[in-house]
Amino acid sequence: MSIKIRKLDSTAPDFQKSLHAVLAFEASEDEAIERSVAQILNDVKARGDAAVLEYTQRFDRLAAKSVGALELPMFELEAALESLEPKRRAALEAAAARVRGYHEKQKIECGSHSWQYTEADGTVLGQRVTPLDRAGIYVPGGKAAYPSSVLMNAIPARVAGVREIVMVVPTPDGVKNPLVLAAALLGGVDRVFTIGGAQAVGALAYGTETVPAVDKICGPGNAYVASAQASRVRHGRHRHDRRAVGNSRAVRRHHRPALGRHGPVLAS
């Protein structure tokens, strides 16, 4: 399937007019996304599991009797790792080891330890470093697989001492990617739910009857996911790591195109 991307040439006489038209369209599109996301978040907050199930069926075409049925057992992650061809498994294990090694060194070199001292007048000064109790990881799904998103978010949390890591990943039509599941096992993820979109962010943010509320949500996603994460930050509910979303814009400047992020992320 080909994707048509409109190109703007900065040397063209009507460049500014064309650019403003594109930006105006995107601004209105962003507002529509934010309204839709706000409705989904409020619904998940109010109805919990029932709302998550409805949105999962609507957007991912995945029907389930309960959110518990959308949680993957640990043996399924183990089976995914075992199913990988040797070269892929070795590459994934090597990547996990390198990420872990880097962050273990970072923890030491950056002074990520508690310490204190007492001054002559009795004043106690210092630093206390306390890991979060529970972190949530959003992993893109859909057309592309991003096991790197799992490793780069789960392993630093595990090295930091986070007690529990909960991962959400959309599986449209129930199709699961073994690389992503294997990465979850190698990364030390504790629980995996096959849910995605703004409803997954809402479940992690507020908690439902089945999905536990987390202290921080990490990981990239599409515009709806990013909007949901940003909304929780604006309302003081959570911190999140970044607004990492895909876009399909291309601006041609001096005959050198600058493309946006990976196309498949748009569907995640």
Q: What is the pLDDT of residue 242?
A: 46
Structure-block tokens of residue 93 = 């294990």
At CA 5, angle to CA 253 and CA 256, rounded to 5?
Answer: 20
Q: What is the pLDDT of residue 26?
A: 54
Is 108 exposed, middle or buried, given 0-12, 13-18 or 19+ CB atoms closer than 10 A?
A: exposed
For residues 141 and 171, the answer to whether their CB atoms sit within 8 Å is yes
Q: What is the pLDDT of residue 68?
A: 96
Instruction: Give 252's strand partners.
Output: 9, 257
For residue range 108-145, list pLDDT tens digits in order.
888 778 889 999 999 999 988 889 999 999 999 877 78
Q: What is the pLDDT of residue 66?
A: 96
| Cα-based distances in Å from 222 to 57, 93, 261, 264 | 18, 27, 11, 9
Parse the chain into domains and list their residue ranges. Answer: 8-105+123-268
What is the distance between the alpha carbons of residues 76 and 64, in angstroms, rounded to a whole number?
Answer: 18
What is the distance between the alpha carbons of residues 107 and 159, in angstroms, rounded to a whole number?
Answer: 8
pTM of the model: 0.75
Give the residue among 190, 144, 143 at the shortest CA–CA distance from 167.
Answer: 190
Q: Which superfamily is assigned to 8-105+123-268 in CATH?
A: Nitrogenase molybdenum iron protein domain (3.40.50.1980)
| CA dihedral over 37, 33, 191, 155, signed as positive or negative | negative
What is the distance between the alpha carbons of residues 34 and 22, in angstroms, rounded to a whole number?
Answer: 18
Q: What is the pLDDT of residue 16?
A: 82
Successive 10-residue mean pLDDT values, the chain, 268 residues: 72 79 60 85 95 95 96 97 97 98 90 87 91 94 85 96 96 94 98 95 95 93 78 51 43 39 40
Structure-block tokens of residue 75 = 């043996």
For residue range 165-182, list pLDDT tens digits in order.
999 999 999 999 999 999
